Chain A
C-alpha cells in the first residue's frame, strides 16, 4: 500500500515531467527557429516598409512591425540566434575554463590550490554586472565582446564546483588504483575524475545559460549591451525590448513579444535545470 505522501510525490513528479518536456520542446523549437530564420520568414530583418510602420499583429506580420516598418517576428527569430548563442556560448566557455581550473586546483592541491582558490574568492566578491559592463566597453558592443566579457565573470562558478567534486573523488579507491598502475596525472584527471564530476557541472551549466541570457538582455535593455544594427548578429532580444520600451505607451506589442521570448526561454532553462538536478542529485532538493 502507498502512503498518501508517496502518491502526491509521484503526482508532483508527473507535473514536473510535463514541465520538463514542455521546456525542452520550447527550447528546441526556439533554437531551430533561430537557426532556420532566413528560411522561415518571408521578410528580411532589415527590410523596411515605410507604409506599414508600427502596425499591430496581422496575418502578414504576425507580431506586427516596428518603428521602421520591419517585421517584428523576423527580428525576434534573428534575435533568438544572438540571445541563445550568448547564453550557450557563455556557459560553454565558462565550463571549459572554470572546470579545468577547478580540476587542476583540486587535484594538485597544496599551495597551488590555496593560491588558485584565493583568486576565485576575490572574483566571487566582485559585482558581476558592473564588471561585465566595464569589460563589454573594452571588448565592444557586439556578440563576440559580450561572450568574452560574460565568460570572464561566469567561469568562477564552475571552478568552485569542479574543485569541490574533485576533492571528493580524489579519495575514491579507483583513483588510487589508477595512480598505482602508473597513470599520469593528466590522464587521471581527464579519464577518471572528469566523468565522475560531470553531473553537478552539467547542472551548473543549465543554470548559467539563463543567467547569461538575463545579464545580456538586461544590459542591452539599458542600452549598454549588444547594438550593432548593420550586422545580422547585432540585435538581441534585449535590444528589441529596448526598442519597444521607448514606444510602450502607445505600441505595447513591440516590447511584449521580445519580453515574452526572453521570459519563456529563461523559464524553460530553469525548469530544465531543476529537472536535471532532481535526476542527477536527488538529495539536492
Chain B
C-alpha cells in the first residue's frame, strides 16, 4: 500500500514538473512578447523592464528561479496587474471557480443518479430511451451554446434570472446548470450501463430469491456494487469541470480563475498563464490521486499492479 502511494505521488509530481517545464518552454518560444506595444518603447525602458523581471538572465537561470519559486509556493509577479502577484490573483479567483465547480458537480450528481437508476431499472422502456436521448443531447451540446441559449431564454426573454453579476441572488443558477449539464449526461450513461451489468449478476438473483424488497435490492446490493466503475471517471470529470469552468466564466462574466486565464492569454501575461495552468494541473492531479486511492480502497486487486 505504501509503495503504491509513493508511486502515485511520484507520478503526480512528474506531471506537475512536465507542465511547469512545458509552459515555460512554450511561452518562451511563442512569437510576440508581453511588452510589445504599438508604439515601441525606448531601449532603456525595455532594459529596465527586463531587469526587473529577470528577463535579462540566461534562460536556464530563469528556469531555475521559476522552479524554485514554485517549490516555495511563489508563482511570481503578474506583468499586467502591477500591484498583485499571481498568488494573490489565484487566491482571489480560485474560491469563485471552486464554488461554481462544486455547484455544478452537485447538480450533475442530483440529476444523473435518479436518471441513471430509472433508465437501468426500466431498461428499454420509453423512460430509458428518453433518458438516453437527453443524455446524448447533453453530451453533444457545447457549454457556450447552452449558456447562450439559457441566457437568451431566461434572462433576455423571460427576465427571470440574471446573467452575470456573480454573487447576487440567483446569479449562480444558470452557470451551474451550464457547467453541470454535460457531466450529468455523462454520469447518467455510465451509471446506467454499470447498473445494467450488475443487475444481471447472480448475487442480485440471490437477493431477490431471498425475498428482499426491490428497493433494497436496487439501492443496497446493485447500486453500491455499480459505483466502483463510476468512481474511476471522477478524475476526467474534475478535468471537465475545471476546463469547462473557464468557458462558463467567460459567458457569464464570473470573476473566476478561468476568466483571468483567458485575459492573461490575450495580454501575454506569462507568469499569470503559467501560474493558473499549474494550479489547474495541481487540482487535476490531486483529483486523480484521490480517485486512485479510493479505487484501491474499494478494489484491493488494483494495489498489486
What residues make up the interface of A, taking CB atoms closer than 8 Å to B?
5, 8-9, 12, 15, 121-122, 125-131, 133-135, 137-138, 210, 214, 217-218, 221-224, 241, 245, 248-249, 252, 255, 259, 262-263, 266-267, 270-271, 274, 285
Contact = CB atoms under 8 A, between A and B. Distances in A.
Interface string B142-154: 1111001101100
**Majority SS at the chain B contact face:** helix
B30 interface: yes
Given A222-B250, A263-B140, A274-B136, A127 B243 contact: yes
A130 B266 contact: no
Contacts of B30: 137-138
A12 B266 CA distance: 49
A270 B136 contact: yes
A130 B280 contact: yes
A255 B142 contact: no
19 contacts: A122-B11, A122-B18, A127-B243, A127-B280, A130-B277, A130-B280, A130-B281, A217-B142, A218-B142, A222-B250, A223-B266, A245-B144, A245-B251, A248-B151, A248-B152, A259-B149, A262-B142, A263-B145, A267-B140
A128 B140 CA distance: 18
B198 to A, nearest CB: 14
Contacts of A122: 11, 14-15, 18
A134 B27 contact: yes
B294 interface: no
B23 A134 contact: yes
B139 to A, nearest CB: 6
Interface of B: 11-12, 14-15, 18-19, 22-23, 26-27, 29-31, 124-125, 129, 136-137, 139-145, 148-149, 151-152, 156, 193, 196, 239, 242-243, 246-247, 250-251, 261-262, 265-266, 273, 276-277, 280-281, 284-285, 288
A137 B284 CA distance: 22
B247 A218 contact: yes
B144 A5 contact: no
B262 A241 contact: no
Contact of B26 (A9, A138, A267): A138
B137 A267 contact: yes
A52 B57 CA distance: 56
A129 B15 contact: no
Contact of B144 (A15, A126, A218, A266): A218
A263 B141 contact: yes
A246 to B, nearest CB: 11
Contacts of A218: 142-144, 247
Contacts of A127: 19, 239, 242-243, 277, 280-281, 284
B50 to A, nearest CB: 21
A133 B265 contact: yes
Contact of B136 (A9, A222, A259, A267): A267
B239 A128 contact: yes
Contacts of A5: 124
B140 A134 contact: no
A270 B140 contact: yes
Contacts of B29: 138
A126 B145 contact: no
Contact of A15 (B129, B276, B281): B129
Contacts of A137: 26-27, 30, 265
Contacts of B276: 130
Contacts of A224: 262, 265-266
Contacts of A15: 129
A121 B12 CA distance: 10
A131 B250 contact: no
Nearest to B32: A137
Contact of B148 (A131, A210, A245): A245
A259 B142 CA distance: 9
A64 to B, nearest CB: 16
